[in-house]
Structure 1
Amino acid sequence: MPSTQEKSLRITTPSDEEIRITRNFDAPRMMVWDAYTRPELVMRWLGRMPGWSWAECQMDVREGGRYRWVWRGPEGVELAVGGVYREVVPGERLVSTERYDQQWYEGDAVGTVEFSEANGRTTLVTTLRYASKAVRDAVLQSPATSGMESGYTALDELLASTTAA
Structure 2
Amino acid sequence: MNWYVVYTKPKWEKKVAERLNEIGVTSYCPLIAKMSQWSDRKKKVNVPLFNSYIFVQLEEKDRNRIFEAPGVVRYLFWLGKPAVVKNTEIEAIQNWLSAPETYEVSIDGWKKGDTIVLESGPFVSQSAVIKEVKQNHYVLILESLGCVLKVNKKEI
Q: Which has the higher contact order (CA 8 A, sep 6+)?
A: 1
Q: Which of the pair is proportionally richer in helix?
A: 1
| Same fold flag (TM > 0.5) | no
**Normalised by the shorter chain, which TM-score bucket?**
under 0.3
Instruction: Using structure 2 for the length normalisation, give the TM-score.
Output: 0.22
Instruction: Using structure 1 for the length normalisation, give the TM-score.
Output: 0.21
